[in-house]
Amino acid sequence: MPTPLSTIRPPSRRSLLFDMKIISGTAHRALALRIAENLGQPLADVHVSAFPDGETEVKINENVRGADVFIVQPSCPPTNHNIMELLIMVDAARRASAERITAVMPFFGYARQDRKDQPRVPITAKLVANLLTSAGVHRVLTMDLHAPQIQGFFDIPVDHLYAKSVLIGYLRERHPDTSNLTVVSPDVGGVKMARAYADALGAELAIVAKHRVSATRVEAMNVIGDVEGRDVLLVDDMTETAGTLTAAAEILHKSGAKKIFAGVSHAILAELGHQRIRDSKIEEIITTDSVPQAAGPKVQVVGIAPLLAEAIRRIHGGQSITSLFSV
């Protein structure tokens, strides 16, 4: 006798969800391991290597059919290699019949090339967005894009997190007294970000007007705001050569600032950047582990694995991640 329809219980929300798989590329496996640990599950068994001619080889060694796949791969240096590796991993997961593929890119490279500011130049941020979508990415999870409007370059959902919550948490613990603190934007373009930090910390706001001479050299011009006798927190979304930060620190020091700190979302530091930081007036740079290059003298790294893991958990469960934006 067939079961009456009235006695059939609908499946629970959890039973409707597909399995979660966390895949790591070679860009930042340590971060992927910490994310997986926070989620309480192992990384998926994926073989990523190179053929003798340098071409990337990827093989997924476990079943991902119908799975919710999250591929952790910031596009940090070597940028082109890591982006290509991500695209190949996405293609492998798509051809293995993954139900949904999310590219977890804590640092999104090429974000500075978001418009045509000169004749005959590309808009590479849009190109990378197109490549990810064409490869089969269904969703992107990223943090502190250099240009927030890049979210509009995608025709797929983009979850844009902010490092502010984890950096401010560290600052409040390490420097609880913010009564004598001024948050400084090292350029006019970063005023909105600096204002958010100043409001969260209850601090004053100042700006350093700068003039960029080349990709590696910046001339800071003058300070807008009062920093004399005050501790200063320089805030920026990223630094590579540390030219902007160190030039700003120099003029702030000349303007009478006491202790100078910096809070940076992404520190993609090479030797030039480390040297400039060592020789600068900056006492400490607080940054995240969004890229493996974020390490060195005067650099304090704060982990973002719990934040990314919680975002992944909520995306997988179809829940809102809005609360993760608050401090």
DSSP code string of 38-98: HHTSPPP-EEEEE-TTS-EEEEE-S--TT-EEEEE----SSHHHHHHHHHHHHHHHHHTT-
Residue 123 shares a structural domain with residue 155: yes
Same structural domain for residues 104 and 181?
A: no
pLDDT at 272 over 50: yes
Q: Give pLDDT, residue 132.
A: 98
77-81, 115-119, 157-161, 186-190: which has the minimum mean pLDDT? 186-190
Q: Does residue 96 form part of some domain? A: yes
Tokens for 229? Answer: 């006798």
The answer to whether 270 and 291 have CB atoms below 8 angstroms apart is no
58 & 123 share domain = yes
Average pLDDT of every residue of the chain: 90
Same domain, 254 and 122: no
**pLDDT one-digit tens code per residue, 185-229:** 988 888 999 999 999 998 999 999 866 666 556 565 689 998 999
One domain for residues 158 and 177: no
pLDDT of res. 296: 86
Contact status, residue 90 vs residue 101, Cβ threshold 8 Å: yes
Residues 95 and 193 placed together within one structural domain of the fold: no
Tokens of 231: 């501790």
Residue 289 inside a domain? The answer is yes
pLDDT value at residue 188: 81
User: What pLDDT is attached to residue 217?
Assistant: 62
For residue 15, is pLDDT > 50? no
Residues 130 and 215 in one domain: no
User: What pLDDT is attached to residue 295?
Assistant: 86
Top-confidence range, 1-5, 177-181, 222-226, 312-316? 312-316
Residues 51 and 65 in one domain: yes
In 254-292, which positions are buried (b, 16+ CB within 10 angstroms) versus exposed (e)? ebebeebbbbbbbbbbeeebbbbbeebbbebbbbbbbbe
pLDDT at 266: 97
Cα 295 → chain centroid: 15
Residues identified as active-site: 210
* pLDDT reported for residue 283: 95
Task: With respect to residue 253, please indicate whether it lies within any of the assigned structural domains.
Answer: yes
The reply to whether 119 and 168 lie within a common domain is: no
Q: Please check whether residue 81 lies inside any domain of the structure.
A: yes
Is the pLDDT reported for residue 23 higher than 60? Answer: yes
Token readout for 262 is: 């910096």
- Give the pLDDT mean for 142-163: 94
Residue 141 lies in a domain: yes
| Pair 122, 235 in one domain | no
Query: Does residue 2 lie in a domain region?
Result: no
Q: Which of residues 272 and 176 earns the better pLDDT score?
A: 272
Q: What confidence score (pLDDT) does residue 323 get?
A: 83
DSSP 10: P
241: containing domain? 164-303
Looking at the domain assignment, is residue 5 inside a domain?
no
* Global confidence as pTM: 0.89
Same domain, 33 and 97: yes
pLDDT score recorded for residue 13:
45
pLDDT digits (tens, 9 = 90+) for 59-73: 999 999 999 999 999
**Number of domains the chain contains:** 2
How far, in Å, CA of 87 to CA of 131, rounded?
8
pLDDT of residue 37: 97
Q: Within this chain, do residues 150 and 175 fall inside the same structural domain, yes or no?
A: no
Mean pLDDT computed over 278-294: 95
Residue 8 lies in a domain: no
What CATH number does residue 100 fall under?
3.40.50.2020
Tell me what the mean pLDDT of segment 169-184 comes to.
87
Q: Tell me the mean pLDDT in the region 244-251.
A: 91
Region 30-50: mean pLDDT is 97
Structure tokens at 110: 């090429």
Q: Is the pLDDT of residue 325 over 80?
A: no
Q: What percent of the chain has pLDDT over 90?
A: 76
Long-range CB pairs of 51-59 (<8 Å, 24+ gap) are: 56/81, 56/84, 56/85, 56/88, 58/85, 58/88, 58/89, 58/92, 59/92
